[in-house]
Amino acid sequence: VRTAAIVPAAGRGERLGSGLPKALRLLAGRPLLVHAVQALVAARHVDLVVVAAPPGETSAVRDLLLPYGTDSELQVIGGGMTRQDSVRRALAVLPPDVDVVLVHDAARPLAPSELVDAVAQSVRDGRAAVVPGVPVADTIKQVDDTERVQATLARSALRAVQTPQGFRREVLERAHAAAGAEIHTDDAGLAERLGVSVYVVPGSDEAFKVTRPLDLALAETVLSRRREGG
């Protein structure tokens, strides 16, 4: 089984601020993207990594990632206008012998390699679509466009899902082809739309997404704790 990991990294990082594309923001001196790619390369099951770079940054990103893999292990392409578009472009360049595809956000720099392997293993074991998920801490309410609460969802049945999300290649390709212009915030959402059964496996507290400035501070803390072996 050949497994490829697609890394959407072409976002602008507007909620984080600063103007620099989020994937290139530094965490302990290295770009978020480098951390994410290192975890993928270190995973046992990942044979190829394809990064969708921010517009205009493709060759800079290629240079940045040079130390982390050979041309046959690591490829950089230009990303698209939306995350979905970025993933679709990466899917289009996968070699024919890849049969399992993981999709992992550059914005989740600290997702452990063990999590990457657990998701890949679950797809290899026969699931068509697998997402890591964790219980939600907050109570989630559904509101209308006036902020009037419509419903309170039963928290015990909710999961906050992370990446890497794993798919049989054919399922992910079919999901993206069927989506057309309809935008989803994750790849599993596209598969659900086709009626594919998507399964949740235990996620990791460290696979959180760096979205706002406070998340970057948390990431720095997680890294220094790891360095102290804690």
Site of interaction with ligand CTP (CB under 6 A): 8-16, 22-23, 52, 79-83, 86, 105-107, 209, 211
Span of 11-19, 34-42, 92-100, 211-219 interacting with Mg ion by CB under 5 A: 11-19
Q: Which residue is listed with tokens 């086709």?
A: 194
Q: How far apart are CA 36 and CA 219, in angstroms?
A: 12
Q: Are strands 26-27 and 3-8 parallel, antiparallel or unpaired?
A: unpaired
Q: Describe the crossing of helices 169-179 and 83-91 by its angle, rounded to 10 degrees.
A: 130
Span of 3-11, 39-47, 59-67, 116-124 interacting with Mg ion by CB under 5 A: 3-11
Read off the tokens for 207: 């696979």
From Mg ion, ligand CTP, none, which one binds at residue 106 (CB under 5 to 8 Å depending on kind)? Answer: ligand CTP
Q: Which residue is listed with tokens 């995973």?
A: 43
Residue 229 DSSP one-character state: T
In the complex with Mg ion, the residue whose CB is nearer, 21 or 43, is 21
In the bound state, the residue with its beta carbon closest to Mg ion is 11
Considering the complex, what minimum distance in angstroms separates the CB of residue 199 from ligand CTP? 22
In the complex with ligand CTP, the residue whose CB is nearer, 32 or 128, is 32
Q: Compute how many residues bind Mg ion; rule: CB under 5 A.
A: 1
Considering the complex, what minimum distance in angstroms separates the CB of residue 209 from ligand CTP? 5
DSSP line for 31-71: EHHHHHHHHHHHSTT--EEEEEEPTT-HHHHHHHHGGG--T
Q: How far apart are CA 80 and CA 191, in angstroms?
A: 20
From Mg ion, ligand CTP, none, which one binds at residue 211 (CB under 5 to 8 Å depending on kind)? Answer: ligand CTP
Considering the complex, what minimum distance in angstroms separates the CB of residue 114 from ligand CTP? 21
Site for Mg ion in 16-35 (CB under 5 A): none
208 in Cβ contact with 215 (< 8 Å): yes
Residue 151 DSSP one-character state: E
In the complex with ligand CTP, the residue whose CB is nearer, 122 or 163, is 163
Q: Which residues bind Mg ion (CB under 5 A)?
A: 11
